């Protein structure tokens, strides 16, 4: 491997890692607070991408307009998620993981149908925002500007979440509910409201991830399933309830994938499964996690 | 006036029927104790009153108002304080942060207690203010759990087995703190205990649970006057 | 539940749910009366990852049935298409063929993947069901794994690949250096093999300068793009071959656009159709490229094509693409064979299909008796380029390649020379 390749593979790996982090962080947040593995996350990711297309269209937007479109898509997705949580999900929190998993999974397929009816089966794709459609040279290797922007977006989201969770009253409440939702209720915290809010926040993060991939991935009604296994691998490897763990795992898995393409390329598609196997055998709570999947609400 | 009224309380976990037609009253300002062996249904009674898990039939009144089926956070905001037997201290939060969480239970009459006011009532906690909940000893956690409940100025406190798991000397400290609290603050106490001597230091009224049924209700004096009761229902 | 089975469960779930999606709408068994409809089973991916293709297929087949029925039907009986949603799994396709047989539907068409075609043909033979592939391109079903009941009324992978290679050399010159970015499964590998064999014959000093194999439906192509880009450095005139299609082609080109992977290189896309080019045009990422799908609506000047394009536009408001034409041709092949046989008896129709000559949008077409592969007078190749118009691209060149130049002699039971 040449130095050029080393540079670009590292940047590719980190950028893909941040993309995975953006997809997985909401999954991790929801599990950390609510104790459920919400695979319907994939549906919100897809919805976010389609709504970004709906609001922004196929033609190139200015970056501020793109960001506005992304936020709009995130808010609408969050609102839909909040309604779904209040109407459906809160009825099944106390069930077994298997039932919740099946329920969420079924919801992805319902979302596939809804998206097909609304936007049709044909692939759609957005443009890169103006000024972000080319590449920059890093140590002589061409790196897409969009890849760098995804890294920046990942860092901004990480900082924003850290601020929200550790520097605000809302974060204080969320952390209390995450640590012990039963006691939080007995102490007068409106746990149901926190759950709805966190569920919606998770959906908002998924939708932002979806908006950010819309210029690089064809939007099809199956988009909800595309990242599901990778996102699942990221949160399990990182630790289901650990947001920093998700970031670390996403970058490790992203880098592993990139390096494998250049070295043992036949193994690259299996890097995520290998990561899952290794972690589940050696450290079931994940790299930075504290909880295993056995933990349920309360 | 009755601060807490329980009528025909039947509780279930799934298909197991735990409480059978339990009924009692706790008069305002008194300290009632719910005695019973391990598994008699004391904790289930509290969780049923707080609506924290079991499915419930029957009626629960808080100062005359029907609160059956009201979600826990609303109950808390209406003055029902709850200190669980496992204390449920937030391990990742400091003592002060734990105390502030108690303030969410507060609704409208006045303001929640400030940590400093709490430290006046529990001087032992003061030097621990910045300590994480997970780093406290069992006795310290018990004091903090009671103190946290008080922050929301409850009208009724459900206090579940405060002596459990504590060394006798530590239990004595907790007891002293609770007795001074009974003298200095104004709330109705419902205490669950299997440690009879600990409980008798605080009780004004006694209710005895046996296998999910209420088998005795009376004043402390009446209970003390009938030593056969203790051997019949409570000896291990 | 315990902790580890979560993933296992997920995998089981995925397969269970995907398998469950295979159900479809049934049709009542037909009677024997002479004006009863002739029912043809269509297995197509109507939902799922390849539904774009399946939906286009349905449009083409529906139009063929409609036109035939408006014209008085076949042997005076109307054609009825019975659809089953097949996502691409071989086991599912086998089950659907059994369902067709149970419902007394003996003529079937569609089938999306090579694996499906290879799995259903032995079963179809036992059940006495005819299988007409509209999409699976593998040369094995007419070659090394030939079975009596399989027919292909459309082009094969060999035809498309060789025609594409001939077109790009004929129009863009003797390009000796080539690279490939194609999907890492049977279809991707076999097309690249055929391409290399054809290029050896066409160009002196043919040389491979790089090949990368992204997995099917990858989320990120960036590493494969980087790797290919690196192998192209110092080979500014090298060509790029790609048999990625549909969503994968869109994703690869969108992710390759920022670093200009294909810019300045001769580029041949195999099997990609305008369904993938249209969204790329909206986003301004259409490359300059040759496309080999055998059909382009303006390429063929014959009455069937004229009528097909006109009727298609009237029905759907757009011009037909290759996926529409192949399904159309498969339905009309059955119709022509049934007319020729004068009956709907399976053996008679089978015999009529062998050596059948009928008129298609690609002109006069004949199904070879030896290996059941359709032979065409000519195949259409077209070139696209980015353009400053509403679509974001334009078709800059359309040529036809003679059919006889792109097909080997029949080799049932054997691997063809171009596939080795």
Domain ranges, ordered by start, for chain C: 37-156+301-376, 158-298+378-419
Percentage of residues in chain B having pLDDT higher than 70 = 97
Q: Is the pLDDT of residue B228 over 90?
A: no
Predicted pLDDT of residue C218: 86
Partner residue facing B90 (CB), from A176, A182, A188: A176
Helix, strand, or coil (residue C146): coil
Please check whether residue B153 is in contact with residue B106, taking contact to mean a CB–CB distance below 8 angstroms.
Answer: yes
Please, are residues C366 and C394 in contact by the beta-carbon 8 Å criterion? Answer: no
A175 neighbourhood in chain B, CB within 8 Å: 92-93
What CATH fold (topology level) applies to the domain C158-298+378-419?
Rossmann fold (3.40.50)
Residues of chain A with Cβ-Cβ distance to C13 below 8 Å are 101-102, 105
* C8 vs C185, more confident: C185
- Confirm whether B231 is domain-assigned: no
- Chain A residues whose CB is inside 8 A of the B102 CB are 187-188
Of the candidate ranges A208-212, B139-143, B175-179, C6-10, the one whose mean pLDDT is the lowest: C6-10
Which residues constitute the domain of residue B70? 2-224
3-class SS of residue C221: coil
| ipTM of the complex as predicted | 0.90
Q: Is the pLDDT of residue C353 over 90?
A: yes
- Tell me how many residue pairs between chain A and chain B have CB atoms under 8 A apart: 62
Q: Which residue, among B98, B101, B111, would best test binding to A if mutated, counting the most A CBs under 10 Å from its CB?
A: B101
C contacts of A135 (beta carbons < 8 Å): 258-260
Cβ–Cβ gap A189/B101 under 8 Å: yes
Confirm whether B230 is domain-assigned: no
Would the CB atoms of A96 and C51 count as touching at under 8 Å?
no
CB pair distance less than 8 Å for A135 and C6: no
Please give the average per-residue pLDDT across C342-363, as a whole number.
95
Q: What pLDDT, on the 0 to 100 scale, is given for residue C271?
A: 84
Touch between chain C and chain B: 3 or more Cβ pairs under 8 Å: no
Question: Can you tell me the distance from the alpha carbon of A249 to that of A227, in angstroms, rounded to the nearest whole number?
Answer: 15
- C257–A128 CB contact, under 8 Å: yes
User: Would you say residue B167 lies in a domain?
Assistant: yes
Decide if C9 and A217 are in contact by the 8 Å CB cutoff: no
Q: Please answer yes or no on whether B102 and A190 come within 8 Å at the CB atom.
A: no
pLDDT tops 70 at residue C183 = yes
- Please tell me the distance in Å from A167's CA to the nearest CA on chain C: 33
**Cβ-contact C117, C330 below 8 angstroms:** no
Whole-number Å distance between alpha carbons of C286 and C42: 33
B77-87 burial, b at 16+ Cβ within 10 Å, e below that, comes to bbbbbbbbbeb
Q: What is the pLDDT of residue A84?
A: 94
Please report residues of A whose CB lies closer than 8 A to that of B106.
188
Residue of C nearest to A39 (CA): C10
| Chain B residue nearest residue A173, CA to CA | B101
Does any CB of chain B come closer than 8 Å to the CB of residue A94? no
Q: Which three-class secondary structure state does DSSP give residue B9? A: strand
Q: What is the mean pLDDT of residues C290-310?
A: 94
Nearest chain C residue to A226, by CA: C219
Burial class (CB in 10 A: 0-12, 13-18, 19+), B186: exposed
The verdict on a CB contact (< 8 Å) between A183 and B106 is no
**Selection from C255, B185, B233, B44 nearest residue A128 by Cα:** C255
Query: In the β-sheet with C130-133, what is the strand arrangement from edge to edge?
Result: C79-85, C38-44, C107-110, C130-133, C150-152
3-state secondary structure (DSSP) of residue B12: strand
Does residue B101 belong to any structural domain of this protein?
A: yes
- Is B13 inside a domain boundary? yes
Q: Do residue A280 and residue C4 have CB atoms under 8 angstroms apart?
A: yes
Q: How many angstroms separate the CA atoms of B42 and A177, rounded?
A: 25
B59 within a domain of the structure (yes/no): yes
Strands (E), C10-58: 38-44
CB-CB under 8 Å, B104 with A189: yes
Judged by DSSP in three states, A95 sits in coil
Calculate the average pLDDT of chain C. 88
- Quick check: C68 pLDDT over 90? yes
Question: The domain spanning residue B158 has which CATH number?
Answer: 3.40.50.300
CA distances B69 to A215, B56, B83, Å, are 50, 8, 19
CATH homologous superfamily of C37-156+301-376 equals: Response regulator (3.40.50.2300)
Task: Quickly tell me which residue has 């999974």 as its tokens.
Answer: A105
Beta partners for C360?
A: C363
pLDDT at A38: 87
What pLDDT is recorded for position B236? Answer: 52
Q: Which residue of B has its CA nearest to A182?
A: B52
Question: Of B47, B131, B59, whose CA–CA distance to B83 is shortest?
Answer: B47
Nearest to C13 among A16, A102, A216 (CB): A102
C359/A96 Cα distance (integer angstroms) = 61
pLDDT of residue C314: 96
Do the domains C37-156+301-376 and C158-298+378-419 sit in the same CATH topology, yes or no?
A: yes
Residue B236 inside a domain? The answer is no
**pLDDT tens, per residue, chain A with 298 residues:** 778 788 888 998 999 999 999 989 999 999 999 988 888 999 999 999 999 999 999 999 999 999 999 999 999 999 999 999 999 988 888 788 788 888 888 999 899 999 999 998 888 999 999 999 999 988 888 889 999 999 999 999 999 999 999 999 999 999 999 999 999 999 999 999 999 999 999 999 999 999 999 999 999 888 988 888 888 899 999 988 888 999 999 999 999 999 998 888 888 888 888 888 888 888 888 888 876 655 444 3
Tokens of C8: 């296992």
Chain B residue with CA closest to A174: the answer is B101
Flag whether pLDDT at B235 surpasses 80.
no
Ordered structural domains, chain A, with CATH: 3-282 (1.10.3470)
Most confident of the ranges A215-219, C13-17, C143-147: A215-219
Q: Taking Cα atoms as reference points, which of A127, A128, A163 lies closest to residue A149?
A: A128
What's residue B42's pLDDT? Answer: 94
Q: Read off the pLDDT of each residue in B9-36 and give the average, rounded to a whole number.
A: 94
Give the pLDDT confidence score for residue B217 in this predicted structure: 95
Subunits adjacent to chain A (3 or more Cβ pairs under 8 Å): B, C
Torsion of CA A60, A64, A66, A72, to 10 degrees: -150
Q: Evaluate whether B88 touches B145 at the Cβ level (below 8 Å).
A: yes
> Which among A182, A185, A188 has CB closest to B152?
A188
Q: Suggest the residue from C188, C226, C230 to mutate for an interface test with chain A (most A CBs closer than 10 A).
A: C226
CB contact under 8 A, A133 and C258: yes
Closest CA to B134 of B89, B97, B171: B89
**pLDDT over threshold 80, residue B156:** yes
pLDDT at residue C117 greater than cutoff 60? yes
């Amino acid at each position: 491997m040449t130095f050029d390749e080393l540079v670009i593979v590292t940047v590719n790996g980190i950028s893909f890692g941040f993309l995975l982090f953006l997809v997985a962080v909401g999954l991790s947040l929801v599990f950390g607070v609510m104790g459920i593995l919400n695979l319907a996350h994939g549906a919100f990711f897809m919805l976010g991408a389609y709504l970004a297309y709906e609001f922004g269209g196929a033609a190139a937007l200015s970056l501020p307009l793109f960001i506005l479109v992304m936020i709009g898509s995130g808010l609408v997705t969050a609102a839909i998620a909040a309604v779904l949580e209040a109407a459906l999900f809160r009825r099944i929190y106390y069930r077994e993981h298997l039932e919740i998993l099946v329920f969420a999974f079924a919801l992805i397929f319902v979302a596939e149908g809804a998206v097909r009816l609304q936007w049709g089966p044909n692939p759609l794709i957005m443009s890169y925002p103006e000024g972000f459609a080319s590449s920059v040279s890093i140590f002589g290797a061409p790196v897409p500007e969009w890849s760098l922007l995804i890294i920046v977006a990942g860092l901004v989201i990480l900082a924003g979440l850290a601020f929200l969770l550790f520097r605000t009253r809302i974060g204080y409440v969320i952390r209390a509910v995450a640590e012990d939702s039963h006691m939080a209720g007995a102490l007068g915290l409106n746990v149901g409201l926190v759950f709805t809010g966190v569920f919606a926040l998770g959906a908002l993060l998924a939708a932002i991830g979806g908006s950010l991939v819309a210029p690089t991935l064809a939007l099809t009604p199956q988009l909800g399933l595309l990242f599901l296994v990778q996102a699942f691998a990221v949160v399990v490897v990182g630790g289901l309830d650990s947001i920093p763990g998700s970031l670390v795992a996403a970058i490790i898995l992203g880098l592993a994938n990139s390096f494998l393409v250049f070295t043992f390329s036949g193994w690259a598609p299996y890097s995520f499964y290998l990561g899952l196997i290794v972690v589940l055998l050696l450290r079931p709570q994940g790299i930075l996690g504290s909880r295993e999947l056995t933990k349920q609400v309360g | 006036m009755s601060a807490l009224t329980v009528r025909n309380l039947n509780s279930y976990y799934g298909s197991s029927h735990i409480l059978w037609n339990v009924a009692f009253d706790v008069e305002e300002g008194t300290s009632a104790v719910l005695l019973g062996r391990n598994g008699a249904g004391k904790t289930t009674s509290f969780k049923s009153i707080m609506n924290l898990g079991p499915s419930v039939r029957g009626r629960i009144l808080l100062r005359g108002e029907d609160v059956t089926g009201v979600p826990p956070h609303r109950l808390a905001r209406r003055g029902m304080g709850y200190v669980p037997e496992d204390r449920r201290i937030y391990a990742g939060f400091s003592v002060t942060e734990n105390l502030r969480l108690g303030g969410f239970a507060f609704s409208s009459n006045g303001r929640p207690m400030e940590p400093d006011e709490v430290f006046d009532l529990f001087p032992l906690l003061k030097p621990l203010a910045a300590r994480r909940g997970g780093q406290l000893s069992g006795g310290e956690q018990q004091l903090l759990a009671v103190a946290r409940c008080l922050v929301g100025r409850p009208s009724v406190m459900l206090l579940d087995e405060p002596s459990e798991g504590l060394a006798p000397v530590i239990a004595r400290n907790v007891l002293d703190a609770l007795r001074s609290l009974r003298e200095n603050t104004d709330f109705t106490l419902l205490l669950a205990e299997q440690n009879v001597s600990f409980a008798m230091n605080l009780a004004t009224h006694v209710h005895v649970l046996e296998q999910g049924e209420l088998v005795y209700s009376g004043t402390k004096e009446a209970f003390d006057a009938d030593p056969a009761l203790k051997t019949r229902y409570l000896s291990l | 539940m315990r902790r580890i089975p979560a993933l296992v469960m997920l995998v089981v779930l995925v397969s269970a749910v995907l398998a469950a999606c295979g159900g479809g709408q049934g049709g009542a068994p037909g009677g024997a009366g002479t004006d009863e409809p002739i029912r043809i089973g269509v297995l197509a991916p109507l939902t799922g990852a390849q539904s774009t293709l399946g939906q286009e297929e349905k449009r083409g087949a529906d139009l063929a049935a409609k036109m035939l029925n408006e014209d008085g039907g076949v042997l005076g009986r109307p054609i009825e298409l019975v659809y089953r949603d097949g996502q691409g799994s071989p086991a599912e396709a086998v089950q659907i063929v059994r369902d067709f047989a149970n419902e007394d539907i003996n003529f079937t068409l569609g089938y999306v993947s090579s694996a499906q075609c290879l799995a259903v043909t032995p079963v179809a033979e036992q059940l006495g069901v005819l299988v007409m592939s509209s999409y699976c391109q593998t040369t094995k079903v007419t070659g090394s794994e030939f079975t009596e009941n399989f027919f292909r009324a459309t082009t094969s992978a060999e035809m498309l690949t060789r025609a594409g290679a001939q077109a790009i050399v004929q129009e863009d010159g003797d390009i000796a250096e080539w690279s490939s970015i194609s999907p890492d499964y049977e279809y991707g590998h076999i097309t690249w093999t055929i391409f290399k064999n054809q290029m050896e014959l066409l160009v002196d000093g043919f040389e491979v300068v790089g090949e990368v194999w992204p997995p099917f439906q990858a989320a990120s192509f960036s590493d494969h793009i980087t790797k290919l880009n690196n192998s192209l450095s110092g080979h500014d005139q090298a060509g790029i071959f790609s048999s990625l299609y549909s969503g994968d082609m869109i994703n690869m080109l969108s992710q390759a656009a920022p670093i200009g992977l294909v810019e300045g290189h001769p580029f041949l896309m195999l099997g990609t159709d305008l369904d993938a080019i249209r969204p790329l045009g909206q986003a301004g990422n259409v490359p300059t490229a040759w496309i080999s799908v055998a059909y382009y609506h303006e390429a063929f000047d014959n009455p069937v094509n004229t009528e097909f394009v006109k009727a298609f536009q009237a029905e759907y408001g757009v011009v037909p693409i290759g996926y529409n034409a192949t399904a159309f041709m498969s339905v009309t092949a059955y119709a022509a064979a049934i007319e020729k046989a004068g009956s709907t008896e399976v053996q008679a129709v089978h015999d009529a299909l062998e050596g059948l000559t009928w008129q298609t949008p690609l002109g006069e077409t004949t199904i070879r008796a030896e290996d059941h592969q359709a032979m065409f007078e000519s195949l259409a190749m077209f070139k696209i380029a980015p353009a400053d118009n509403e679509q974001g691209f334009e078709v800059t060149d359309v040529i036809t390649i003679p059919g006889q130049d792109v097909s080997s002699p029949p080799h049932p039971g054997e691997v063809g020379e171009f596939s080795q």
